[in-house]
Amino acid sequence: MAEKIRWGILGCGKIAAKFAADLRLVKDSALVAVASRDAERAAEFGKTFGAALTFDNYEALAASAVDVIYIATPHSFHYEHTLLCLNAKKAVLCEKPFAINRVQASQMFDIARANGVFVMEAFWSKFLPQYRKVIELINAGTIGTITWIQADFGFKAPEPVPARLWDPLLGGGSLLDIGIYPVFLALSLLGKPEEVNALITSYPGRGVDQQCIVNMKHKGGALSSLSSTFSTDTPVQAVIAGTNGRIEMHNRFHNATARVYLSVNREPLTEVDVYREDGNGYQFEAQHVTDCLINKLTESPVLTFQDTLDLMEVLDKIRHVCGIKYPEDDAF
Ligand SMILES: NC(=O)c1ccc[n+]([C@@H]2O[C@H](COP(=O)([O-])OP(=O)(O)OC[C@H]3O[C@@H](n4cnc5c(N)ncnc54)[C@H](OP(=O)(O)O)[C@@H]3O)[C@@H](O)[C@H]2O)c1
């Protein structure tokens, strides 16, 4: 491996730009190559973020001299693009949702193991300081046993609504795109649910959800109530309530701007200090991947393969209950 971990970016869209900006804050790493389907877009992106190599196709990036590739294409391409890179023996950080379903995710991990290369879902929230602070408070018993979680993620999609949000061929729908954050929070704090109920409002004629509401019952009787919507702006907050108090994560609970509040024994909510630094917040997951690669790990000890498989399994279950279906579901 080179002195610095050499990053490549596959797909030069919106999130790729935020991630590329944050890579500048990551120690021991450098952005060296980017690929777009469009040569001009790749050149422009490379110039903006200082990548020397730019490609007009993804295969050339997979074959190039990089150590790790960040995959930032629509959900339905995560499987194909991750396999492209893993089979070229490149480590991968793949955007959420890692795949369309659990079967795909499991195959992706098998290929990573067979090639002996690192792969991780880019579930950035898990690496953010405020999320870690919340876990610290919970593990210290501050709010007692968690009995109830409520979390939402909704925004009014701009018109015309981008195809990525409604087209089943691109993995569209609110659950996989943003509902995944409340579901991840409930799973990581309460474990896999024993019961799942869900309702959706579909995009007419598309079969994928414009809005989704999920209620889950977890071991010991704890309940989680989770929602996502592209129809309206919602608070994007999380409330984690326990036998001794509650934690609230305010707008937007899943990202680097979230503010954390704590109430114990019915005292008024007070804000909890959280470490902040410049950037969009993607530097924390990128630093973690860089450190894993320097230490020659093929799996993250923080966000394990099992974490992603569990998340995919629960998303599959929710989709089954409320009837969200993708073409990829038929292939397996
Ligand atoms: N972690 C987060 O906070 C976060 C936030 C937003 C999105 N995401 C995830 O990141 C992924 C991309 O989201 P985005 O908002 O960046 O989307 P986007 O702006 O539409 O960018 C996606 C990029 O994928 C490439 N692409 C390849 N095949 C495509 C196709 N058939 N149709 C459209 N684009 C195609 C395009 O890059 P080229 O044309 O350059 O090849 C496009 O610019 C999604 O899976 C999403 O869940 C994560």
Q: What is the pLDDT of residue 296?
A: 97
Contact 245, 262 (CB under 8 A): yes
Contact 182, 228 (CB under 8 A): yes
Cβ–ligand 1 contact at 74 (below 6 Å): yes
For residue 37, the ligand 1 atom closest to its alpha carbon is 41
Cβ–ligand 1 contact at 77 (below 6 Å): yes
Residue whose CB lies within 8 A of the most ligand 1 atoms, among 9, 10, 14, for a mutation test? 14
Cβ–ligand 1 contact at 38 (below 6 Å): yes
Phi-psi region of 272 (alpha: psi -120 to 50; beta: other; left: phi over 0): beta
Q: In whole angstroms, what is the distance from residue 239 CA to residue 46 CA? A: 41
Instruction: Write phi, then psi, for 63 (nearest 5 degrees).
Output: -90, -5
Residue type, 4: K
Cβ–ligand 1 contact at 181 (below 6 Å): no
Dist. CA 73 → ligand 1 center (Å):
4
Cβ–ligand 1 contact at 75 (below 6 Å): yes
Nearest residue by C-alpha to atom 9 in ligand 1: 95
For residue 124, the ligand 1 atom closest to its alpha carbon is 1
Q: What is the pLDDT of residue 332?
A: 54
Residue whose CB lies within 8 A of the most ligand 1 atoms, among 22, 38, 95, for a mutation test? 95
Dist. CA 21 → ligand 1 center (Å):
16
Nearest residue by C-alpha to atom 42 in ligand 1: 13
Indicate the Cα dihedral angle 162, 164, 167, 173, nearest 10°.
-100
Dist. CA 170 → ligand 1 center (Å):
10
Q: What is the pLDDT of residue 205?
A: 87
pLDDT, one tens digit for every residue, the chain (332 residues): 558 999 999 999 999 999 999 999 999 999 999 999 999 999 999 999 999 999 999 999 999 999 999 999 999 999 999 999 999 999 999 999 999 999 999 999 999 999 999 999 999 999 999 999 999 999 999 999 999 999 999 999 999 999 999 999 999 999 999 999 999 999 999 999 999 999 999 998 898 999 999 999 999 999 999 999 999 999 999 999 999 999 999 999 999 999 999 999 999 999 999 999 999 999 999 999 999 999 999 999 999 999 999 999 999 999 999 999 999 998 65
Contact 293, 5 (CB under 8 A): yes
Q: What is the pLDDT of residue 331?
A: 66
CA angle 90/95/97 to nearest 5° reads 125
> For the chain, how big is the Rg over CA atoms in Å?
20
| Model-wide pTM > 0.85 | yes
Q: In whole angstroms, what is the distance from residue 29 CA to residue 26 CA? A: 6
